[in-house]
Each structure stands twice: as structure tokens, then as C-alpha cells.
Amino acid sequence: MTRKKRRLIILLASGVCLGSAAALTLSAFNDSIVFFVAPSDVGTKAPAPGRTFRLGGLVEAGSVERTRLGGKPGARFRVTDGGAAVPVEYVGILPDLFREGQGVVALGTLRADGVFMAAEVLAKHDETYMPKEVADALKKSGHWNPDQGPPPPAATWNTLTAPKNGG
Amino acid sequence: MRGGPDITRAAHGRKLPEPARLQTAPARDYVGGVDATLSRSPQPVRNLHRFANPGRFLRISGRLLPPLAVAAAILTAAGFAWGLFFAPADWQQGDSVRIMYVHVPAAWLASSGYVALAVCSVLSLVWRHPLADLAAVEIGPVGAGFAALCLATGSLWGKPTWGAWWVWDARLTSMLVLFFLYLGHVALVRAFDDPQRGYRAGAILALVGVVDLPIIKFSVDWWNTLHQPSTITLTGAPSMYVGMLWPLLICALGFTLGFAAIVTARLRAAVMERRIRALLMARARESG
């Protein structure tokens, strides 16, 4: 065995060891690496009351009620992932992108009555990028109602509009 | 290139304490050396070493660099102009979507620059490729710059879109780790009086850090994150309007050529610097 070959084998062996160590570590910490808990997991896993965690999902269509809570501007809405929905109360200014059907991540605690008291609400942007004209066209043609969730698959709209505008 | 392994081999032989091994080790190594260079030398290795010749590198890169730099400048300028002034705004993000034309190419280049750093480190550790040592040293600061650009522009986009400058989700954190890996490499390769030891330590650090690359790439798929998943995938149609996609791809190509041009220019300077130092040393030895 030449020195080069030996060095290469040592390198590959270390790589395999390091890779599996990293994979095992990451899978062991899997639950704490997630940024937020989905509403259906709140129902099953039930974090201890009073424990701060992040709740993530879509703002349920027709659930947003902008109101004053304790004399300050706030909002009540429900966060859903299709399976379950959690009612949320938030006092403060909502981000610009907040709307029904938008992904949001709220930081707060679960009250004993099952209402999530949010201290911070972040808007989660999805991986879709489309100009206003395309969004309007999809809405008008009935292909997409933004209140109901993410837009249809890109293949259905991205090729249709491309030739018209010269790409 | 023959000089490198011979020196280490001699040093290695001298370090062995037991007399018995002292006798056998050089003989075995000599056979090994003959094996590697004459009888069993595989073609790819010999081809690889063609590029280890610094003189050849200076000749080829000198011819390549001007067109590379010009193409990078033209493509980046065209991509920015298209993206910042002519591409449509996003229906939801508005004009802040234009940050993407800097952020996404910077992120891609920070990651692929690290791949280049890792390849140089393998060449350096296994084949003792002298040009790869220098290339790794020169890639470090450039990659760190692109990673910093990615983090800064991402923060500027995060505030108006998410409502936060920074969150500790898996994608953002792993990207920050990549930035620190670059900084660590930059510091480590320069931390030794003997540059060879610095190259060795830096190469090991760079290869350990490779673990972070799949974490960055797949963080948005493995765990839920605030950062959105990939828009452009190998399997499906990109969920980005084509009028935004084209300028993004042009910017990415411009950034790639720019990265290559900056690293090539730095590497040329490093090779010439080393030559000058060698000449000065030789002259000092002659006169002294």
C-alpha cells in the first residue's frame, strides 16, 4: 500500500465515522431542532402548560378577528395544519404579510383552556415567487384562493404565463 | 512534487525510535515510493500533478483571468440591472423580493466555495498538492465574504418579510456555522510559523466542516424551519415566475465566475509572492 493510498483510506474512514456521528447526533436532537410545533402535534404531544414554544401553521380562513385585548390592539385567530387548529391570542402589531391562509410561526405558551397566548408572531414565507399579475389571474380564474393556503403547483401556472411576457 | 513526499519520508524515518524499525522503514518506504511513481502510477494522479506546476498555472491562469473577470462583471451587472429594475415585484413581498438577486447567489457560492475548499484540502492531505495548499488559503476569505453577504442580505429580507432580523432556525444557524468555519479556516492556516503545518491543520478543519453542507442544504426538508424550502429543485418545476428566475440565474452565473476570478487572482498573487520570497532567500544565502 502506498502512502497516498493509506492517507486516502484514513481520510475516507474518518469521513465515514464523522458523518455517522453527525447523523446520529442530529437524529437524537431531532425534536429540539424543529423550529415550531404543528397544531396536530400540540394535540397529541401536549407541551407542558406554561412552557414556551413555537406554534406554526397556516392562519385558518375566516378566523381572524382584529380586536383590542386588554386595551391594546391585538388579534384572535386560529392556526391550522389541516388536521387540527389551535386558537391564538396575540397583543401587538402583526407583520405585514399576516393574512388568512398565510404561514405563521407564533412564540408563546398554551393556556389551560387550550388558547395559545402568543408573545411574538412571525410570518413564514413559502417558496413561491410570483408577480401581482399572476397572483391576480390565478385568483380571478378560481385556481387559487390565498385564504385557503399555498398556491397550486408551479407547473400549472409558471409555464402558462411565461410565453406571454417573453420570459 | 517529488520533493515533498521525500522530505516527509526522511523526517518520518528519523523520528522512529526503535532501531529495528529504523532499518526496515526506509526500505519499505523506498519500495512504496517506486510503486507510486513508476510502476503502478494511475493516470489520473499523473494528470493531477501536471497542474501542480506553478509555472504552468501562472501561464494558463494569466491567459484565462481577463476574459473570466470581464464575463463575471458583465453578467453580474446585467443580472442586477434586470433583477433590480425590470423584473416584477412579488405580489406579497413587494420590492423586497429583489434582495433575493444578491442573497441566493451569495448563499450558493458560499456553499459551493466550501466544496472547492474541501476538494483542495483532500488534494493537499492525500496528494500533498502544493498548489492546492495555496488555493485553500485563498478560497477561505472569499468564501467567508460570500457567506457574510448571504447572512446580511438574508437579515435585511427577514425583517420586512418575517418580522425578525434573525431567528435560530436550522437553516440560518447552519449557515452561520458555515461562516464561522470559513473564519476558523482563515485564522488556522495562518496561525503556524511553519506554513506546512498550517495547511495541514486547515485542511483537516475544512474537511470536518463538510458535515455542515448537507445540513444547510436539507435543513429546510428535514426539520420545519422559518426559512422557506428550496424554490428551485432538480425534480420539479421552479415555483418562481420565469421573469424572476432568469435574472436570478444570470446573477448566479455572474457570481460564480466572479468567485472564480477573485480566487484565481489571489492565487496568482500567492504563487508569485512565494517565488519572490524563494528568490530573496536564495540571494540572501548566496551573499551571506
Residue A129 with chain B: CB contacts under 8 Å:
90, 93, 97, 100, 231, 239-241, 244
Q: Which segment of A38-42, B1-5, B50-54, B186-190 scores lowest on mean pLDDT?
A: B1-5
User: Cα(B88)–Cα(B98) distance, rounded to whole angstroms?
Assistant: 9
The C-alpha atoms of residue B139 and residue B199 are separated, in whole angstroms, by: 13
Count of beta carbons in the 10 Å neighbourhood of residue A72: 9
pLDDT at site B189: 94
| Amino acid B50: pLDDT | 53
What whole-number percentage of chain B has pLDDT above 90?
A: 60
Residues of chain A numbered 138-167 and touching chain B (CB < 8 Å) = 151, 153-155, 158-159, 161-162, 165, 167
Min distance A50 CA to chain B CA atoms (Å): 21
| CB contact B35 to A (< 8 Å) | yes
For residue B224, what pLDDT is reported? 85
pLDDT band at B38 (very low <50, low <70, confident <90, very high): very low
Average pLDDT over residues A34-57: 82
Give the pLDDT of residue A46: 64
Give the highest mean pLDDT range of A70-74, B29-33, B71-75, B271-275. B71-75
* A123-146 per-position pLDDT tens digit: 988 888 888 888 888 888 877 887
Contact between A35 and B224 using a beta-carbon 8 Å cutoff = yes
Q: pLDDT higher for B95 or A149?
A: B95
pLDDT confidence of residue A153: 76
Q: CATH assignment of B53-287, given 1.10.530, 1.20.120, 1.10.10, 1.10.4160?
A: 1.20.120
Beta-carbon separation of A154 and B164 below 8 A: no
Chain A contact present for B213, CB below 8 A:
no
Span of A7-21, A48-62, B123-137 with lowest mean pLDDT: A48-62
A90 is in an annotated binding site: no
pLDDT band at B52; cut points 50, 70, 90: low
Using the predicted structure, report yes or no on whether residue B49 has a pLDDT greater than 70: no
Is residue B75 within 8 A of residue B257, CB to CB? The reply is: yes
B88 touching A (Cβ < 8 Å):
yes
Break chain B into its structural domains and give their ranges. Answer: 1-41, 53-287
Least confident segment among A36-45, B76-85, B120-129, B200-209: A36-45
Question: Distance from B130 to chain A by nearest Cα, in Å?
Answer: 15
- Predicted pLDDT at B261: 97
DSSP letters for A27-40: HHTHHHH-S-B-HH
Beta strands in A1-115 (DSSP E): 52-59, 65-69, 72-80, 85-91, 103-110
ipTM exceeding 0.95, yes/no: no
Q: Write out residues 47-76 of B within 8 Å (CB-CB) of A.
A: none
Dump pLDDT digits (tens) for A90-101.
998 888 888 888
pLDDT tens column, B198-240: 999 999 999 999 999 999 999 988 888 889 888 888 777 788 8
pLDDT for position A150: 78
pLDDT score of B51: 56
A158/B92 CB distance under 8 A: no
Amino acid B185 reads H
Residue in A35, A126, A136 nearest the CB of B225 = A35
CA distance A24 to B198: 31
- B236 in contact with A, Cβ within 8 Å: yes
DSSP letters along B1-42, please?
Answer: -THHHHHHHHHHHHH--SHHHHHHHHHHHHHHHHIIIIIS--
Q: What are phi and psi of B164, to 5 degrees?
A: -145, 140
In whole angstroms, give the CA distance from residue B28 to residue B259. 44
Give B68-107 pLDDT, tens digit per residue. Answer: 999 999 999 999 999 999 988 888 888 889 999 999 999 9
What is residue B237's three-state secondary structure? coil
- The pLDDT, as a whole number, for residue B48 is 52
Q: Could you tell me how many CB contacts below 8 A there are between chain A and chain B?
A: 143
Three-state DSSP state, B109: helix
In this model, does residue A74 exceed pLDDT 60?
yes
Q: Does the structure show a pLDDT above 90 at B117?
A: yes
Average pLDDT over residues B139-144: 96
Please compute the mean of the pLDDT values over residues B185-196 and round it to a whole number. Answer: 93
| Minimum-distance CB partner of A123 among B5, B161, B230 | B161
Measured between CB atoms, does B92 come within 8 Å of chain A? yes
Helix then strand count (H, E) for chain A reads: 6, 6
B-contacting residues in A 63-92 (Cβ below 8 Å):
none
pLDDT at B47 over 60: no
Closest Cα partner for B130 from B13, B270, B262? B270
Express as a percent the part of chain A with pLDDT over 90. 21
Distance from CA of A100 to the nearest CA of B (A): 13
As a whole-number percent, the residues of chain B with pLDDT over 70 amount to 82
Checking if the pLDDT of B25 tops 50, the result is: no
Contact at CB, B240 and A38, closer than 8 angstroms: no
